[in-house]
Structure formats: C-alpha cells, structure tokens
Amino acid sequence: MAIRPVILYPDPRLKVVCPAVEAIDDATRAVAQNLLDTMDAGPPRTVGIAAPQIGASTRVVLVDTSRSPKHPGGHGLLALVNPRVIASEGDQFFREGCLSIPDYTANIRRRRSVTVEALTLDGEAMRVDAEGFEAVVLQHEIDHLDGILFLDRVSNVKTDLFQRKVR
C-alpha cells in the first residue's frame, strides 16, 4: 500500500475519539497495511502505531514489541481492530515516546498487565494477555483511538517530561 506521513502534535486529529469499525473490509485492511508500511519506514525501534497517527479515524492499531532490542518477546506483530482493555492489574512506570510527539519522552504510569479483546483483520475475535513493555505499548496505542496522548498522562511536567537528545 503506502507509507503515510505521521500526524504530529498538536494536530487536532490526534485528539478525536475514533468510531468503531462496523465491518472489516478492504478499507480496514488498507489502513492496517498503511500502518505497517509507515511503521516499517519509521525509526528502527518503532513498536506501535495507531490509525489516527496516519490521519485515519478508525479503531485500528498495530503493535510489535519484538522489534525492541531492550524488551524482546511479546506476541509478535498484532493487528487489532476495535481493541479494548477488559482487565488490568498492577502499576508500573515506563519511559514512553511517540511518533506523533518526536521531541519528547515521559515517565508514564500504566497498568502492569492487561487483557485486550479485539478483532483480527479476518474478523475473528481474539484476546491478548500482556504484561510489562507489551502491556504499556498496547495501552499507549489504544489511548490514541480515544484521543489521548501520553502527554495527557504526565503527572508532573517538571520531573517526568524530557526533551529527546539530538542525535
């Protein structure tokens, strides 16, 4: 399909709550493929992307934490349609970044483990149990579908928000 430009903060499209996918069709699969192409073309440690980040207001995310050299493991590439967290427990802090906010990272409190229900691109129901880094990435990407950015979850801007180092 195509590599799409990543929408950057403060673009208002990042703050929109995406409607549910009513029927998985070629358009839904095209969004997923565009997400994958864009993720593949991004920085090498890109582990997740959500449809609103490429200008598509639909509930589709891709997550692949196996791309992270610091946090190997996880379920591999997940293409999730209408994902939602149905259970969670524990707390953890993680340093998060985002393709849509490339100049900053932040320490964010997230749930340590989550159970996510979603549909596959074939319309099959699926459930993902994740913990640690993969749980964080799932929560981060699902937040995008609800118009929530990691900046919205920063507890203390003075101590928890960091400007990225220029490389």
Q: Active-site positions?
A: 141
Using CB atoms within 10 Å of the CB of residue 42, give its burial: 0 to 12 exposed, 13 to 18 middle, 19+ buried: middle
Put residue 46 in one of left, alpha, beta given phi > 0 → left and psi -120 to 50 → alpha. Answer: beta
Q: What is the distance between the alpha carbons of residues 46 and 51, in angstroms, rounded to a whole number?
A: 15
Amino acid at 13: R
Do 62 and 77 touch, CB atoms closer than 8 A? Answer: yes
Q: Sign of the CA dihedral 115, 73, 64, 102? A: positive
Q: b/e per residue, 46-67, with b = 16+ CB within 10 A?
A: bbbbbbbbbebebbbbbbbbeb
In order of 12, 98, 110, 159, 164, the CA distances from 138 in angstroms are 22, 13, 10, 24, 22
